[in-house]
Amino acid sequence: MDVPENSQIVKSLLDEKNLIHQSKHCLLDLYNCDVLKLNDESFLRCTINNAAKKANARVLNLISHKFEPQGVTAIALLSESHLSIHTWPESHYAAIDIFTCGQNMNPDIASNYLIKALMAQEHMLRFINRNHPS
């Protein structure tokens, strides 16, 4: 069946709107990481900044906190949403979120970079769809 030209334009605009709003939430758990790196606040700030940039995201702000006796949280506020890491050096473990909106950012690139940077021997990567009403 031939589709009327106007319908194609409307469909294309709707697809574009959906892509612009498409939110993906990537949950990455890293196991058996390098303990020293998990406890190094400066390294982690630099690492999530690099991960975001390599994934084509724009970092608007970056905050972090070093816990006592160990563990770090670092969070980057992005044009494309956020990237966060929480580390538990005593368990050689890190929990990472990469929340992306739109098509600019590639969370797979950020994930692969973080897996290597923290020398994780195992990892679990899950993608959760956020149900934007558009």
Q: Which positions touch a second copy (CB under 8 A)?
A: 21, 23, 25, 27, 29, 31, 60-61, 63-65, 67, 73, 75, 77, 79, 81-82, 84, 86, 88, 91-93, 95, 97, 99, 101, 124, 126, 128, 130-134
Our answer to whether residue 26 is catalytic in this structure is no
Taking the complex as a whole, the smallest distance from the CB of residue 13 to a second copy amounts, in Å, to 15
Q: What does the H/E/C string look like for the chain?
A: CCCCHHHHHHHHHHHHHHHHHCEEEEEEEEECCCHHHHCCHHHHHHHHHHHHHHCCCCEEEEEEEECCCCCEEEEEEECCEEEEEEEEHHHCEEEEEEEEECCCCCHHHHHHHHHHHCCCCEEEEEEEEECCCC
First to last CA, the chain: 27
CB of 124 to a second copy, least distance (A): 6
**CB closer to a second copy out of 6 and 129:** 129
> Among the options 26, 33, 81, 111, which is catalytic?
81
Catalytic-labelled residue, pool 86, 92, 111, 123: 86
- The minimum distance between CB 74 and a second copy, in angstroms, equals 9
Q: Is residue 12 annotated as part of the catalytic site, yes or no?
A: no
Does 86 qualify as catalytic in the annotation? yes
CA-CA distance, 33 to 20, in Å (whole number)?
35
Least distance CB 105 / a second copy (angstroms)? 13
Q: Which residues are marked as active site?
A: 81, 86, 101
